[in-house]
Structure formats: C-alpha cells, structure tokens
Amino acid sequence: MKQKWIVFLLAVMLMLSACQNAPDPAQTSVPEESRTQEGSQAAAGTLSGIGDIITNLSFPAEETQAPTQAPTQAPTQAPTEPPTQPPTQPPTEPPTQPPTQPPTQPPTEPPTEPPVIIVPPTPTEPGTTQPPTQPPQLPDDQPYDAPDVPLSQLWKVKTTDSLNLRLRPSATAARFEAVPAETVLYLYEDLGEWSAVIYKEKLLYCSSAYITLMQQDPSETGSKLIVIDAGHQMHTPADVGYENNPAAYEPDGPGSEIYKLRVSSGTAGVVSRRPEYEITLEVALRLQAELEYRGYRVYMIRTTNDVDLSNAERAQIANQLGADAFIRLHCNSFTDPEASGALTLCQSKENPYNAHLYAKSRMLSERIVSNLCAATGARNQGVTESDTMAGINWCSVPVSIVEMGFMSNPDEDALLCSPLYQQKLAYGMANGIDSYFASQADLGQ
Ligand SMILES: [Zn+2]
C-alpha cells in the first residue's frame, strides 16, 4: 500500500516537474480586439449566471480580480490535457427481442420502493429544457447523438421497471425503445421529472421516477480518495501583467487564451491579520484527520505553506490521482465587513472544459455547504456556479471550492482562526462528503 503511494507520488512529482520545465508556449498573433471581446464575454457570462447581492458577496477572494489581459502573444500549444480515464464497462445491452412483457408506458401505480431522488440542480418542467449538446435544427423524430464524454465520469443508473426511452423529454415525444427493468443507462443530466440518459450511443429521455442510481461496488466502500487543496501559499508572484512576467500566469482552462496569476496571495483577516493560506491549511489538516478517521483515503496537495503550486497544477494532481472528490479550501473577502457566511463553487452545466462533471460537482457542493452550515451555524450562501476559475476549469474530477467564511468580517475572522470552529468546519464538510457519496448508493438495496 505504502509502496503504491510512493510510486504515485513519484509519478506526480515527475508530472509537476514536466509542467514546470515545459518550454514557453509558442507564439501566435491574435488580434487584440478579439481577445478583449472574449474576455468581456466570459465576464458577462459569469455575471449573467449569478443572482443579486448574495452573489456579489459570494465572489471568492481567490479570483475576484478580473481576468488578466490576454497576453499579446497567445500560445498555440495548449498545456497537455491530463489523460481521461478509460470508460468503464459499456452498459448492458437489453435483449434484442422486445421484452416479453411489453408494458411500454411507465406503470401508473407508483413503485413500491420509493424512487431515489436525485437532487435536481434546478427543477425544470419537462419539455422545456434543451439538452446542452442539442443541435437546434434536428427534427423531433431524430435522436440526438450521445455527447462526447467519458462514460466513466457519469453516474450509472438502472431502470426499476420497464421504461420508455424517448427522443425528447415529453410523454408525447417519439419513443426510441422500451427497455426492461434493470437496464443500465448513464445519467447525463437530471432535468427534474425527466432525465437525459446515454444509451446505445444516443442521448435519450426517460422518467426520473423509474431510474435509480446503482449501488457502488462494495469493494470500493471505504476506499474513496479525497484530494484536499489548502488554497494559496506563502510566496506568490506579483500581479505585474502577463507581458512583464509570463511565467507568473497560466490559462484559466486548458487551451484558454485568458491568463490568470498562477496562484494569488489570497486574503487576510481584517482583525487577526492572519493570511488566508495559513487558515486554509489548518482547516485542511483537520479535514484530513476527520476523513481518515471515517475511512477515506486522503491526499493533501500541500502540508506546508512554503510551496510553489499553481491552481492548474493542483487540479492536475487531483486528476492524475483519479480523486473521487477534490475539495479546495478558501476564505472569502468583501468590501462590506457585514458580509458573512459560507458558500461553495462549482462549474456550470455550460462549462467549456468539464460540463460533464456538473451534476456531481453541483451535488458535492450542495451537500458540503449545507452540512458545513449545519455544523457551524454559518449563514448558508449556497452554491455559486462559475466557469472563469482555473481552480475549477482544469479539473477532470468532481470538484468543489469551499469558501468557509469571510475574513473581511471581524466576527468570522475570529471564528476562522479558532481551533474549535475549524474543527466544526472540518466535521461539517466531512458530513457533506459522506452525504455526497451516500447519495450515490442505491436506496432500493
Ligand atoms: Zn482564496
């Protein structure tokens, strides 16, 4: 076991040194205006996806700065994407013959077992939501091709009864196939009453009430790997602009032309004056202990303050390790000292880099923030979706950024420095992680 870890660590170190030694990106010229537009569109997209004042409060200290001016010379060579994991077994094919019992309509009687409730991010009326990958011009009698995402990163679900798979999320939509109970599907998106599933390389729709998340392999129980990133670090590069020091910047996503500081200095306590990187590490160490006590495997991105790891590099470590959940700890800051509370961040379902991880990251984020607030009494500021953060965009594993409280608020500053409160934070987050994994278990078993 230990040897395996050493091999893992060596591999990670090799990877990191490869990243750091990579030659400077090749240069191409991109018109200045087009880059500026991209930057402002990205910013506008973020703002439009976020609500009112809570969200204004909720922008994390780490990446509050507007995206750095795009470099005068953009790299043509995007950083290497981490390898995606091979897909797991393809779903079991249903019998080619139609099932002997062809009750193709979902039964009118509710099943005896209560269906698993998959927490829908935003409940939607069936028939009104278009799938993200939908080509708008496709006629209603044509099925959509399955989106190009690794099935290993989607939840496996199975049907609890014979069930119609339809071309669109509507009971009147054309039927693709009637599948028997116990058919394995891959959940692409939960639309509330309807679910988008991948089956026979098509994106199809079925009633959410008649599918259930599959129980995890019992041999995996207790072997979940949680990677914890204590945000920021002691020494950080100065934000002098990409032109003046390109090495201090990195793209905010694989192949992106928007550059951000590799790692920013973070905030500091308005009264305590303690730097954010110290607080995040203290809580991270407590979270590690709490999770290991509960039987998880834990990998710490850093255990000291004096490291040099960019946000993208941290994400790539979690990717390489195949983390089951990647938890990034931060503290918030805002100009209004009254601002308070905790929130979590994940990508939106439109994220250009890892939208297929939206459902998992969203649920992870919801479970963490609600349990953290229950354990600490902190004000629950909910989940914010953002596609402009390198810390999220580089992830190929489920991720949640936890803004544990506002260091700009004198009361929360004191709490965040308190060992007792830090322990409550760790306990609450661990409950949220438990709850996230429990949500994947099959309630019918
Ligand atoms: Zn931060």
pLDDT score at 414: 98
Ligand 1 mean position, distance from CA 65 (Å): 11
Is it the case that residue 51 has pLDDT exceeding 60? no
pLDDT score at 72: 38
What is the distance between the alpha carbons of residues 379 and 401, in angstroms, rounded to a whole number?
17
- Give the sign of the dihedral formed by CA 357, CA 297, CA 390, CA 417: positive
Ligand 1 mean position, distance from CA 283 (Å): 13
What is the distance between the alpha carbons of residues 94 and 109, in angstroms, rounded to a whole number?
24
Is it the case that residue 7 has pLDDT exceeding 90? no
* pLDDT range class, residue 56, cuts 50, 70, 90: very low
Given this chain, do its domains 89-214 and 221-438 carry the same CATH topology?
A: no
pLDDT score at 153: 64
pLDDT score at 15: 56
Read off the amino acid at residue 224: K
Q: Which residues contact 256 (CB under 8 A, 6 or more apart)?
A: 78, 393
The CATH number that domain 89-214 falls under is 2.30.30.40
* pLDDT range class, residue 213, cuts 50, 70, 90: confident
Ligand 1 mean position, distance from CA 363 (Å): 22
For the chain, percent of residues with pLDDT exceeding 90: 54
Tokens 């099932």 sit on residue: 99
Ligand 1 mean position, distance from CA 184 (Å): 41
CA atoms within 13 A on the CB side of 373: 18
pLDDT score at 53: 32
Lowest mean pLDDT among 145-159, 209-223, 318-332: 209-223
Which one is predicted more confidently, 79 or 198?
Answer: 198
pLDDT tens per residue across span 19-44: 443 333 333 333 333 333 333 333 33
Ligand 1 mean position, distance from CA 72 (Å): 27
pLDDT score at 170: 93
| CA-wise closest residue to 345 among 319, 372, 371, 368 | 368
What is the distance between the alpha carbons of residues 235 and 428, in angstroms, rounded to a whole number?
30
pLDDT score at 441: 60
Ligand 1 mean position, distance from CA 402 (Å): 9
pLDDT tens per residue across span 246-295: 999 999 999 999 999 999 889 999 999 999 999 999 999 999 999 998 88
CATH top class, domain 221-438 = alpha beta
| CA-wise closest residue to 41 among 316, 338, 321, 350 | 350
Ligand 1 mean position, distance from CA 229 (Å): 11
Ligand 1 mean position, distance from CA 376 (Å): 20
For residues 334 and 408, is the Cβ–Cβ distance under 8 A? Answer: yes
Ligand 1 mean position, distance from CA 256 (Å): 22
Is it the case that residue 231 has pLDDT exceeding 70? yes
Ligand 1 mean position, distance from CA 200 (Å): 43
pLDDT score at 92: 38
pLDDT score at 117: 39
Ligand 1 mean position, distance from CA 388 (Å): 14
pLDDT average, residue stretch 340-356: 97
pLDDT score at 6: 59
Q: Which residues contact 10 (CB under 8 A, 6 or more apart)?
A: none
* pLDDT range class, residue 349, cuts 50, 70, 90: very high
Which one is predicted more confidently, 24 or 319?
Answer: 319
Which residues partner with 406 through β-bridges?
332
pLDDT tens per residue across span 161-205: 899 999 999 999 999 999 998 888 988 888 888 999 999 889 999
Ligand 1 mean position, distance from CA 265 (Å): 8
What is the distance between the alpha carbons of residues 336 and 417, in angstroms, rounded to a whole number?
20
Is it the case that residue 55 has pLDDT exceeding 90? no
For residues 323 and 437, is the Cβ–Cβ distance under 8 A? Answer: no
Which one is predicted more confidently, 21 or 47?
Answer: 21
- Give the sign of the dihedral formed by CA 391, CA 393, CA 398, CA 402: positive
Phi, psi of 409 (to 5 degrees): -100, 120
* pLDDT range class, residue 445, cuts 50, 70, 90: very low
- Give the sign of the dihedral formed by CA 242, CA 18, CA 395, CA 10: negative
**Structure-token pair, residue 70:** 């795009």
pLDDT tens per residue across span 89-141: 444 333 334 333 433 444 333 333 444 434 333 333 333 344 444 556 788 89
pLDDT score at 44: 32
- Predicted structure pTM score: 0.55
Is it the case that residue 78 has pLDDT exceeding 80? no
Ligand 1 mean position, distance from CA 437 (Å): 26
* Mean pLDDT across the chain: 76
3-class secondary structure per residue, the chain: CHHHHHHHHHHHHHHHHHHHHCCCCCEEECCHHHHHHHHHHHHHHHHHCCCCHHHHHHCCHHHCCCCECCCCEEECCCCCCCCCCCCCCCCCCCCCCCCCCCCCCCCCCCCCCCCCCCCCCCCECCCCCCCCCCCCCCCCCCCEECCCCCHHHCEEEEECCCEEEECCCCCCCCEEEEECCCCEEEEEEECECEEEEEECCEEEEEEHHHEEECCCCHHHCCCCEEEEEECCCCCCCCCCCCCCCHHHEEECCCCCCCEEECCCCCCECCCCCCEHHHHHHHHHHHHHHHHHHCCCEEEECCCCCCCCCCHHHHHHHHHHHCCCEEEEEEEECCCCCCCCCEEEEECCCCCCCCHHHHHHHHHHHHHHHHHHHHHHCCCEEEEEECCCCHHHHCCCCCEEEEEEEECCCHHHHHHHHCHHHHHHHHHHHHHHHHHHHHCCCCCCC
Q: What residue spans define the domains of the chain?
A: 89-214, 221-438
What is the distance between the alpha carbons of residues 405 and 376, in angstroms, rounded to a whole number?
11
pLDDT tens per residue across span 393-431: 999 999 999 999 999 999 999 999 999 999 999 999 999
